[in-house]
Amino acid sequence: MLHALEGSQAIAQAVALCRPGVVAAYPITPQTHIVENISKLVADGKLKCEFVSVESEFSAASVVLGSSAAGSRSYTASSSQGILLMAEVLFDIAGMRLPVVMTCANRAISAPINIWNDHQDSMTVRDSGWIQLHCADNQEAIDTSIQAFRIAERTELPVMVCMDGFVLTHTLEVVDMPSAEQVDSYLPPFTFKNKLDPKHPLSLGTLVGPEYYTEARYSLHRALEKALPEIEAADADWAKICGRASGGLLTVEGPENATTAVLAMGSVVSTLTESNEMLPGNKRVKIIKLRSFRPFPIEALQMACAGLKELIVLERAFSPGLGGILGTEVRAALAGMQKPPQVRNFTVGLGGRDIPMSTLSKLINAAKTQAPGGFAILDVEPERLPPEDR
Amino acid sequence: MIEIRIHGRGGQGNVVAAYVLAGAAFEEGKRCQAFPNFGAERRGAPVVAFVRIAEKPILRRCQVEAPGFLIIQDESLLHIPSVLEGLKDKGGVLVNSLKSSEELTKEYGRPMIALAGSQMAQEIVGRPLANVALLSAFLTLSAILPLEALKKALSKRFKGDVLEKNLKLIDEVGAHVTAGQWKKEAKHVACA
């Protein structure tokens, strides 16, 4: 049914439809409204679940680690410094192969402190072994949250649903909220074969010496690779129920014969798509929406880039001292192609800087002069820099 | 598509105003988008929220740079130069103020419509929050949505005495502005 809902409220309702057994979270802007709404659903008796208020994000992650290991469907949400404080536990959750789902309301990292949106937080834990899926709008965030539980429970991997803080979490827009029947028909009750059970004792996360550590880590890598078809299937099966897909691993929009493409993740894809539609027909580019950042869909990306001369990677974070993170990964992923496109790499919209409609044209122009292997921050304002950095 | 920017101060229900206006558009079967541009989250600080109303799904997620209409919840905000920035030619400005429209127009050198929103809200609702009164005035002036839609959206957010009083406020405000005065403007500022 269609509703006009704030993103956070929509996510709270979508998570509730998935019938979690345990939710633990600590408030942090811009994630707070999500768990606030979930706690209200619990308090109003609309969601039967153990809601654990904790004293830090480290504890929130630890609670869902434990509850998931005990066989309960578990959910948390955080942002920015909260994700960093969780970092140690996030690696544990993945290493123990626990199917926890969390929402990352993407926000910048301090210092300097900044509460607004970019992707530095989820990027910083990209090697934790979590699946990371990005959402272009609130409908995708709803549908992806539901799919996340299925993916997590089938792959025994934790899933982080990344949605842009404020830009999605605080935006009210029209969304179709699935019915309980639809979600129930899609998501079976959670049964976890590795759950901690006194009748069948089992240890998780114990000390592993050099003789098995490599294999444990390799298996985690393989599990993420094997999750690729699960992510696609989860989206396709959900589309059969509700008539809408969120984009599998990635999607390509725009003219078939365009030889330039722009690749991006998250809500900026929406703005780029509308900007692209407003360009004259012969100037339009392909827009590649990368939904699955972990696992990284190398093969699907190579196929999406076949025939391209130029691929402009637009990202919302970077690695100081290197440059783009997504851009560097895309270059590596495409190196195996027979005729890879030239990859241009830009970061934009750090710490909530607005990404206006003019960004697409500016990007296409800036790409013309970027050296191979280059990187730039598209919207840096030289006059705001100290003279030595201009 | 019509783009609206709402200026207020923390605590004046600026974001609620944006959400309710977008909600009213939804009640009329339109597509809508409303979001805040938070600065420092504290009472009294200038805050901005944006609303987009369209017939088709809205893809763009950037801030509203060239609004067709401005709703100003606090006249003192007009002293901040950026408040009027980007307003489209022939765009409308609605200000919560005890002054008359003529006085405001003369003082700021461009057409403005004044509404004693806080005063009316104080009298009818018992709290000097102008947001609902301003939305009622805006919809009466622009006629982009019926007041019924505003009432429906409001009733999804509030109930009981608060709702009843606000519904009364919506009706009362209608008599203080000229219905349809911004009809032409609404057509003029609509963008693709």
- DSSP 8-state assignment for residue B100: -
| pLDDT > 70? residue B41 | no
Residues A217, A260 within the same domain: no
Which residue, B151, B138, B118, is CA-closest to B182?
A: B138
Residue A36 lies in a domain: yes
Check CB contact of B6 with chain A, cutoff 8 Å.
Answer: no
Task: Please answer yes or no on whether B61 and A270 come within 8 Å at the CB atom.
Answer: yes
| pLDDT > 80? residue A28 | yes
Choose one of A242, A267, A298: the last residue of a domain.
A242
Task: Please answer yes or no on whether B38 and A270 come within 8 Å at the CB atom.
Answer: no
Neighboring chain B residues of A356 at a CB cutoff of 8 Å: 62-63, 65
Residues A180, A276 within the same domain: no
Rounded to an integer, the average pLDDT of A187-206 is 94
CATH of the domain at A315: 3.40.50.920
pLDDT, averaged across chain B: 95
| pLDDT > 80? residue B38 | no
Contact residues for A298 (Cβ-Cβ < 8 A; gap 6+): A333, A336
Neighboring chain A residues of B65 at a CB cutoff of 8 Å: 356
Residues A159, A261 within the same domain: no
| pLDDT > 80? residue A117 | yes
pLDDT at site B174: 87
Residues A369, A343 within the same domain: yes
What residues does B49 pair with on adjacent strands? B6, B36
Answer yes or no: are the C-beta atoms of B82 and B129 closer than 8 Å: no
Residues A206, A340 within the same domain: no
Which residue, A361, A270, A353, A288, is CA-closest to A316?
A: A353
Residues A300, A181 within the same domain: no
Check CB contact of B58 with chain A, cutoff 8 Å.
Answer: yes
Task: Please answer yes or no on whether B26 and A174 come within 8 Å at the CB atom.
Answer: yes
Which residue, A10, A229, A276, A261, is CA-closest to A137?
A: A10
Closest CB to A271: pick one of B23, B36, B60. B60
User: Which domains, and CATH codes, for chain B?
Assistant: 2-189 (3.40.920.10)
Give first-to-last CA distance, chain B, whole Å. Answer: 6
Confidence of residue B40 (pLDDT cuts 50, 70, 90): low
Tally A–B CB contacts below 8 A. 66
Closest CB to B33: pick one of A171, A278, A356. A171
Residue A171 lies in a domain: yes
Can you tell me the distance from the alpha carbon of A130 to that of A286, in angstroms, rounded to the nearest whole number?
29
- CA angle at A18 for the pair A15 and A24, rounded to the nearest 5°: 50
List the single residue in A with minimal CA-CA distance to B56.
A174
pLDDT at site B179: 96
Question: Is the bond preceding residue A60 a cis peptide, omega within 30 degrees?
Answer: no
Task: Please answer yes or no on whether A356 and B22 come within 8 Å at the CB atom.
Answer: no
Rounded to an integer, the average pLDDT of B122-132 is 96
Q: How far is CA A64 from the centre of its chain?
A: 19
Rounded to a whole number of angstroms, the distance from the CA of A265 to the nearest CA of chain B is: 14
Task: Please answer yes or no on whether A172 and B31 come within 8 Å at the CB atom.
Answer: no
Residue A247 lies in a domain: no
Q: What is the domain range of residue A235?
A: 2-242
CATH of the domain at A59: 3.40.50.970
Q: Which among A2, A114, A139, A172 is the top mutation candidate for probing chain B, defined by the most B β-carbons within 10 Å of its own β-carbon?
A: A172
* DSSP labels, A178-199: PPHHHHHHHSPPP--TT--BTT
pLDDT (tens digit per residue) in A224-252: 999 999 999 999 999 999 999 999 999 99
**What is the dihedral sign for C-alpha B97, B101, B104, B108?**
positive
What residues does A101 pair with on adjacent strands? A75, A159
Task: Please answer yes or no on whether B58 and A173 come within 8 Å at the CB atom.
Answer: yes
Task: Please answer yes or no on whether B192 and A355 come within 8 Å at the CB atom.
Answer: no
pLDDT at site B45: 87
Confidence of residue B169 (pLDDT cuts 50, 70, 90): very high
Residue A234 lies in a domain: yes
Residue A216 lies in a domain: yes
Task: Please answer yes or no on whether B32 and A4 come within 8 Å at the CB atom.
Answer: yes
pLDDT (tens digit per residue) in A345-390: 999 999 999 999 999 999 999 999 999 899 999 999 999 999 999 9
Choose one of A242, A263, A289: the last residue of a domain.
A242
Check CB contact of B40 with chain A, cutoff 8 Å.
Answer: no
- Length of chain B equals 192
Residues A270, A359 within the same domain: yes
Which one-letter amino acid corresponds to residue A26? Answer: Y
- Find the helix or strand (DSSP H, E) in which A105 lies: strand A101-106
Residues A160, A288 within the same domain: no
Task: Please answer yes or no on whether B61 and A167 come within 8 Å at the CB atom.
Answer: yes
Can you tell me the distance from the alpha carbon of A162 to that of A141, in angstroms, rounded to the nearest whole number?
8
Rounded to an integer, the average pLDDT of A117-145 is 98
Q: How many domains, in total, are found in chain A?
A: 2
Residue A248 lies in a domain: no
Residues A207, A166 within the same domain: yes
Neighboring chain B residues of A274 at a CB cutoff of 8 Å: 59-60
ipTM: 0.96
List the single residue in B with minimal CA-CA distance to A358.
B62
Residue A97 lies in a domain: yes
| pLDDT > 90? residue B6 | yes
Q: Which residue has the higher pLDDT, A297 or B11?
A: A297
Check CB contact of B62 with chain A, cutoff 8 Å.
Answer: yes
Answer yes or no: are the C-beta atoms of A144 and A111 closer than 8 Å: no
Residue A379 CB-density burial (10 A; 0-12 exposed, 13-18 middle, 19+ buried): middle
Task: Please answer yes or no on whether A172 and B61 come within 8 Å at the CB atom.
Answer: no
Percentage of residues of chain B with pLDDT beyond 70: 97
Residues A102, A220 within the same domain: yes
Torsion (CA) A137, A140, A141, A142 in degrees, nearest 10: 130
Neighboring chain B residues of A271 at a CB cutoff of 8 Å: 59-62
Choose one of A242, A272, A303: the last residue of a domain.
A242
Q: Max CA-CA distance within chain B?
A: 42
Residue A214 lies in a domain: yes
Residues A227, A361 within the same domain: no
| pLDDT > 90? residue B42 | no
Residues A195, A309 within the same domain: no
pLDDT at site B39: 67
